[in-house]
């Protein structure tokens, strides 16, 4: 079973305001965080969103003991506002988004996320997403290089992209093993390093699922429907995601983005939230030992301004 990362931290920070309001788990996955929140806050309701049909089926079974307090919807978190309208939810008592890939996706060879298995090169989180095989077999070398450099921060992006294009001239690249072998033929492993194919697989997964598209707008949308004093908590797993979250929170805190030579602020900076984690929270050594995938998790939390009560502001 997938182990939800930083679960105790999420529960501690994401206390609902009001107590009987609706918390959104915008990437509910297998429901681990949802279970913890529903147990800790017995008056709260929860709306879970996920694009993965298989994950939702498991979450539905896991959350059955909380029937009457839970609604689950298949969809992308970027469609938050539309989903809230469909569910007739006006404001939120809190929102969580765990942007990581679930164990269900990584450990199921059929899904094609991992080079640990020889499987079809799929990587789709949802039915509407593009397969990674479509990208590697249709994009030209420059497009592939851009994806590898931008989403994988791969230093050998150009050579790997050219190797992919050259290899597919003999036939389409259809499996994870084929792609991993192509990357390893260009980028050789050094002792103690991660597998040479890691960054390429990360980049293609992000591109295929459009994981970074709309993340900034999603954060704005989430904050716009929070009750005053309610909180948004986002868990990122790589620097690209975390950078977007950090910058969005700073902007919503009212950080001026005007050029330094302007005599007065013209960007309209307004303080909408207060960041509660100026540095991201990370997993403890104990959690990492129990769940190594928690090693790269980073949790940031912000609170919408306007709440007068201060008795529970210790977190």
The closest of 276, 255, 145 to 207, measured between CA atoms, is: 145
Q: What is the DSSP letter of 33?
A: H
Which token pair is 50? 């996920």
Instruction: Decide if 94 contacts 62 (C-beta within 8 A).
Output: no
* DSSP assignment letter at 233: E
In 3D space, the residue among 209, 230, 291 whose CA is nearest the CA of residue 1 turns out to be 291
Q: Which pLDDT score is estimated for 192?
A: 59
How do strand 273-275 and strand 70-74 relate by DSSP bridges? unpaired
In order of their start, the domains of the chain are: 7-99+212-304 (3.40.50.150), 117-209 (1.10.150.170)
Residues 223 and 273: their CA atoms lie apart, in Å, by 8
> Which of 78-87, 258-267, 270-279 bottoms out in mean pLDDT, i.e. has the lowest?
258-267
The 3 state secondary structure assigned to 172-222 is CCCEHHHHHHHHHHHCCCCCCCCCCCHHHHHHHHHHHHCCCCCHHHHHHHH
Burial label for 263, CB within 10 Å (0-12, 13-18, 19+), is exposed
d(CA 14, CA 289): 25
| Cα separation, 195 vs 188, whole angstroms | 9
Q: What are the structure tokens assigned to 1, written together?
A: 């079973």
Whether 264 has a pLDDT exceeding 80, the answer reads: no
Model pLDDT, residue 312: 44
Residue 268 has pLDDT above 80, yes or no: no
pLDDT tier, 308 (very low <50, low <70, confident <90, very high otherwise): low
**Neighbour order of strands in the sheet with 273-275:** 70-74, 45-50, 22-25, 92-98, 226-236, 298-304, 273-275
Per the prediction, the chain carries an average pLDDT of: 91
Q: Is the dihedral of CA 127, 128, 132, 136 positive or negative?
A: positive
Return the pLDDT at 313.
46
Q: What confidence score (pLDDT) does residue 95 get?
A: 98
Look at residue 114 in the predicted model and tell me its pLDDT.
85
Is 80 exceeded by the pLDDT of residue 242?
A: yes
3-class DSSP state of 97 = strand
Q: Is the pLDDT of residue 128 over 90?
A: no
Burial of 291 per CB tally in 10 Å (0-12, 13-18, 19+):
middle
Sort strands 298-304 and 273-275 into parallel, antiparallel or unpaired.
antiparallel
Which residue matches tokens 């620097």?
239
pLDDT, one tens digit per residue, over 30-46 is 999 999 999 999 999 99
């Amino acid at each position: 079973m997938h182990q939800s990362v930083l679960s105790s931290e999420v529960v501690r920070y994401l206390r609902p305001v009001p107590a009987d309001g609706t918390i959104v788990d915008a990437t509910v996955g297998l429901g681990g965080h949802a279970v913890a929140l529903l147990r800790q806050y017995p008056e709260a309701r929860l709306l879970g969103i996920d694009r993965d049909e298989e994950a939702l089926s498991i979450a539905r079974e896991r959350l059955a003991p909380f029937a009457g307090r839970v609604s689950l919807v298949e969809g992308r978190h970027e469609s938050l506002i539309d989903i809230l309208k469909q569910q007739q939810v006006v404001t939120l008592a809190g929102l969580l988004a765990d942007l990581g890939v679930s164990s269900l996706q990584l450990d199921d060879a059929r899904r094609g996320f991992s080079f640990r298995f020889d499987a079809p090169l799929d990587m789709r989180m949802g039915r509407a997403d593009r397969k990674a095989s479509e990208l590697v077999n249709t994009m030209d070398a420059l497009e592939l290089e851009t994806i590898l450099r931008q989403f994988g921060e791969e230093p050998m992006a150009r050579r790997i992209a050219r190797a992919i294009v050259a290899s597919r001239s003999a036939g389409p690249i259809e499996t994870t093993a084929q792609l991993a072998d192509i990357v390893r033929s260009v980028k050789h492993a050094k002792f103690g390093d991660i597998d040479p194919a890691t960054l390429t697989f990360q980049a293609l997964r992000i591109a295929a699922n459009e994981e970074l598209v709309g993340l900034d707008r999603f954060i704005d949308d989430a904050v716009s429907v929070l009750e005053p004093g309610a909180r948004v908590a986002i868990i990122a797993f790589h620097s690209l995601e975390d950078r977007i979250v950090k910058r969005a929170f700073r902007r919503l805190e009212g950080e001026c983005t005007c050029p330094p030579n302007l005599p007065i602020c013209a960007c309209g900076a307004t303080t909408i939230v207060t960041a509660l984690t100026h540095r991201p929270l990370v997993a403890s050594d104990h959690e990492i030992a129990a769940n190594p995938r928690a090693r790269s998790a980073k949790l940031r939390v912000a609170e919408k301004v306007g709440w007068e009560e201060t008795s529970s502001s210790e977190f």
